[in-house]
């Protein structure tokens, strides 16, 4: 069976958390099923040396690229070029954002075939409330209409933080997305994700939230049903910045452990100052209360479970 490549693309800002997620991916996948690769863009020589050595010691492949390698695109768009950058032996790839943690085996996903020309991605959380009649939902509907998505497509809008793709499908999607991105005016709300949806929805297959679980859904009373393997920290605060609800100490600890094991990487671990941290602690407590009220029952909760039933949720 051909190997899959589990891929991370990052600049210096997300280099340390991406490395921690890659460590977890390596720990939670069989080497017979996949390699894990961390690709850094426009890194300083010292950072390149330190992370290459830490990856070598951890069984992770490391690749250093320059912005010129991806047509001078911003580093955040590195995922669009993975089909060009990866070694030729991989016919599938699993792209994972750096603001994630891997808490269970990836092997059930990595051994799932991907139909030719297709890729898997999970619905974005916005799709579970986009039909509502409040100001946020109306604004989102107007935005998605403005980028060319129909009401039906808007309900299928996917999050681009985890993509499991057949390589040739991703080559076409990535190239089409970069061409469209290059021709768009600045200021798009969700820049690369919007473009990926516009060009990629016809070839996208729904992926269980087990493989891209928004951390705030911990407040939605669905975690025991979905059994997440990849948790995605989609907005600030991030888990490496401090101890916050709803993840608390558990999600902060892997960054401390990595910095202890590889002390040379500690300068790349960015934490919050205490003033900002206290503000976010208060904010997160408030969000936890409102999210529990809005997501743990009612239509949003039911839509999540309906979506999971559609995907088959075979994360066992």
Structural domains in the chain, CATH included, are 4-311 (3.90.550.10)
Q: How many CB atoms lie within 10 A of CB 32?
A: 10
Short-list 162, 183, 179, 170, CA closest to 233: 162
Is the pLDDT at 316 greater than 50? The verdict is no
All residues at 6 or more sequence positions from 235 whose CB lies less than 8 Å from its CB, including other chains: none
The pLDDT value given to residue 253: 97
Is the pLDDT at 315 greater than 50? The verdict is no
The pLDDT value given to residue 313: 66
Question: What's the whole-number mean pLDDT along residues 213-217?
Answer: 96
Is the pLDDT at 2 greater than 60? The verdict is no
Looking at the whole model, is its pTM more than 0.85?
Answer: yes
The pLDDT value given to residue 191: 76
The pLDDT value given to residue 174: 96
β-bridge mates for residue 214, sequence order: 232
Specify whether the CB–CB gap between 229 and 315 falls below 8 A: yes
Specify whether the CB–CB gap between 79 and 163 falls below 8 A: yes
Specify whether the CB–CB gap between 7 and 90 falls below 8 A: no
All residues at 6 or more sequence positions from 242 whose CB lies less than 8 Å from its CB, including other chains: 252, 271, 272, 277, 280
CA torsion through residues 85, 87, 89, 93, sign: negative
Identify the three-state secondary structure at position 166: strand
Structure tokens at 200: 């990629």
The mean predicted confidence, pLDDT, of the chain is 94
Short-list 138, 313, 287, CA closest to 224: 313
**Percent of all residues in the chain with a pLDDT value above 90, rounded to a whole number:** 87
């Amino acid at each position: 069976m051909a190997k899959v490549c589990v891929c991370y693309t990052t600049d210096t800002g997300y280099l340390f958390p991406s490395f921690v997620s890659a460590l977890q991916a390596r720990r939670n996948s069989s080497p017979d099923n996949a390699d894990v690769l961390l690709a850094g863009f426009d890194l300083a020589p010292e950072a390149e040396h330190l992370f290459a050595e830490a990856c070598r010691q951890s069984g992770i492949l490391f690749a250093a690229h320059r912005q010129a390698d991806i047509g001078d695109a911003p580093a955040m768009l590195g995922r669009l070029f993975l089909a060009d950058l990866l070694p030729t032996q991989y016919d599938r790839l699993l792209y994972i954002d750096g603001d994630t943690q891997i808490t269970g085996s990836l092997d059930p996903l990595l051994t799932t075939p991907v139909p030719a020309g297709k890729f898997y991605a999970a619905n974005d959380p916005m799709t579970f409330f986009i039909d509502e009649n409040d100001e946020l939902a109306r604004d989102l509907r107007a935005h998605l209409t403005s980028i060319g998505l129909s009401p039906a497509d808007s309900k299928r809008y996917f999050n681009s933080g985890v993509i499991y793709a057949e390589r040739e499908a991703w080559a076409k999607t990535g190239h089409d997305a970069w061409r469209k991105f290059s021709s768009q005016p600045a200021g798009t709300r969700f820049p690369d994700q919007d473009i990926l949806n516009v060009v990629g929805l016809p070839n996208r297959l729904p992926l269980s939230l087990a493989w891209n679980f928004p951390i705030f859904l911990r407040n939605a009373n669905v975690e025991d049903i979905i059994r997440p393997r990849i948790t995605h920290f989609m907005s600030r605060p991030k888990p490496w910045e401090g101890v916050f609800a709803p993840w608390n100490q558990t999600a902060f600890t892997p960054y401390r452990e990595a910095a202890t094991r590889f002390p040379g990487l500690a300068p790349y671990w960015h934490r919050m100052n205490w003033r900002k941290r206290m503000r976010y602690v208060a904010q997160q407590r408030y969000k936890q209360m409102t999210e529990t009220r809005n997501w743990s029952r009612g239509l949003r909760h039911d839509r999540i479970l309906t979506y999971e039933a559609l995907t088959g949720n075979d994360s066992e």
